[in-house]
Chains A and B, each alone.
Chain A
Amino acid sequence: MLRFVTTFLLILLALFTLELLAPVQEHVIVPFTAVLASLSAVLILPFDSSVVAYGKILQFKDSGFAVSIEAGCNGVEATIVLIAAICAFPGSWRARLIAIFLGFLAIQVMNIVRIISLFYLGDWNMEYFSWIHLYLWPALIMLDVLVVFIVYLRYLSVQAKPLETTVG
């Protein structure tokens, strides 16, 4: 456990520092955040004609309320945590890559739900918006990471069992 936690923290710190570098922000994080904003808009627009989207901004035409999807709202940090946890664990690289890919999808689906829910919540009540944005949603996103990681551990465990039977 100690070896896992140490490796995990080292990978986490390295990836997190990498994410903060200006070229990475410019060429990866900012474009990715813009794609996320566009995707949120694509999901909302067919159902709600009172919404307009430009760049990374979603806005209600009638109330004028708008949200700008910024770095830090893009689920990248949660993905980094998941990648660090999966890489710190013993397992085949194939299993790791599949887990990272599926985990990334799970986090981003949750994150888009988060962006859309916050957009509507903010139009209704700013106090609730701030509270849920700053405190509740980050906890829920980390819970998502935790669940993906436990599912991955269970998968590894199930994979290891037949091997143990064959060897034993």
Chain B
Amino acid sequence: MRQFLLFVFVLLIPCFGLWTVANAPIGLPAIGIAGSLLSNWFPDVVNALSPSGPEAILMTEFGEKAGQLIPLSQADYRLGFQINTRVLSYSLPFYTALHFATQRKTYLADYLWGLLILYVLFICGLVCLCLKTLMVNVSAPFFNQAGVFVPNAEVIAVSYQFSVLIVPTLAPAILWLSQSKDSPLLQGLFVRTVDR
């Protein structure tokens, strides 16, 4: 346990450092997929989700004048909202530190599977984050789209809270537990307790 903790602390610094430096390219595919999903789901509200440095900009089909939403045709510019993708993607360096701090027989295959799962969750989280942004900032025109299924406000609120507050730290921990149950650190603990 002490060795594991020491390795985690030692690895957390370079893993988070690398993630900070490489965050923009790491987020690109997720931004592309989430953007494509949202602009097809809400064609009258979402124009695109575009990368902007380490973050993303959710471009809408509206303009703004004196704090009021107006149709794009009457506006001087398109209204967009900044989306912080890093509040979701920090699951990747956290998982990396946990994974490589644990003594195990094979490292790479499990790690790649873990990254893939976390990346899918990252995309889902990004969609939830954008839905919450649209709910708060666009509100009525977002909820009143004709012929489009829009989740209700409570579902959006819970999924946002869950995606941002719980998933980025919990998903790496669950993945690590399930992949490390045969490691010297956890060996036998799950067999004795869960499967007996």
A residues within 8 Å of B by Cβ?
1, 3-5, 8, 12-13, 16-17, 20, 72, 77, 81, 89-91, 131, 134-136, 138-139, 141-143, 145-147, 150-151, 153-154, 156-157, 160
Contacts and interface: CB of A to CB of B under 8 A. Distances in A.
A8 B166 CA distance: 13
Interface residues of B, number: 40
Contacts of A145: 173
A114 B170 CA distance: 19
Given A134-B86, A150-B186, A151-B1, 6 more contacts: A135-B90, A139-B12, A139-B90, A139-B169, A143-B8, A143-B98
Nearest to A142: B169
A108 to B, nearest CB: 17
A134 B165 CA distance: 10
For the residues of B in contact with A, the DSSP-based class is helix
Contacts of A143: 8, 98
> Lowest 4 A-B CB distances belong to which pairs?
A142-B169, A135-B90, A153-B189, A139-B94
A90 B86 CA distance: 36
B169 A156 contact: no
A75 to B, nearest CB: 11
20 contacts: A1-B181, A1-B194, A1-B195, A5-B174, A16-B162, A17-B158, A20-B158, A72-B165, A134-B84, A135-B16, A138-B169, A142-B172, A143-B8, A145-B173, A150-B185, A150-B186, A156-B192, A157-B193, A160-B193, A160-B196
Interface string B127-163: 0000000000000000000000000000001100110
B87 interface: yes
B166 A81 contact: yes
Given A81-B170, A134-B86, A150-B186, A90 B158 contact: no
Contacts of B169: 138-139, 141-142
Nearest to B5: A147
B188 interface: yes
B170 A142 contact: yes
A6 to B, nearest CB: 12
B174 to A, nearest CB: 7
Nearest to B174: A5
Residue with the greatest number of chain A CB neighbours at <10 A, chosen from B93, B165, B178, B195: B165
B20 interface: yes
B173 A150 contact: no
Contacts of B177: 146
B20 A157 contact: no
Nearest to A7: B194
Nearest to A156: B193
A138 B165 CA distance: 9
B87 A134 contact: yes
Contacts of B196: 90, 160
A131 B170 contact: no
A116 B8 CA distance: 23
A25 to B, nearest CB: 12
A40 B157 CA distance: 29
A4 B186 CA distance: 15
